[in-house]
Amino acid sequence: MNYEKVIFGFFIILSLTLNFGFFIGEIDNPEHHNIFEFFFVVVVNIIATGLKLGDRTQIGALLLATSFVAVLQLVTASIVWAYVMHVSQTGLTPTVIASIVSLSGGALMANIISVIILVSETLMMRR
């Protein structure tokens, strides 16, 4: 068993499941979207991106691209969240939380594509 691939797969799937957990719920209800869960989503996605940096294959490039998309969406959502809470003082209105959750939904789609690519690559491998 290759433990490097186990850790790689673990972080890819963990980023998908954490993102799904944050995304699920009423889109405009701040009580359904925990800030700590969102923080872990961002951190795990950044770690997963770091693990994808060494692969020089075409599939590795696609995995890295999906990871960059997910991190870009999540960082943008983080900036929006921080701005409304600390700069504009408007707080988490239903419109703002809907924007944040929508951005995390884009990251969720990128994570789904990443897992599909990972599973497809694994199924295509021959012993």
Task: Print the SS3 string covering 22-91.
Answer: HHCCCCCCHHHCCHHHHHHHHHHHHHHHHHHCCCCCHHHHHHHHHHHHHHHHHHHHHHHHHHHHHHCCCC
pLDDT over 80 (residue 127): no
For residue range 73-116, list pLDDT tens digits in order.
999 999 999 999 999 988 889 999 999 999 999 999 999 999 99
Domain span at residue 62 reads: 3-124
pTM score of the predicted model: 0.91
Reported as a pLDDT band with limits 50, 70 and 90, residue 1 is confident
Domain count, the chain: 1
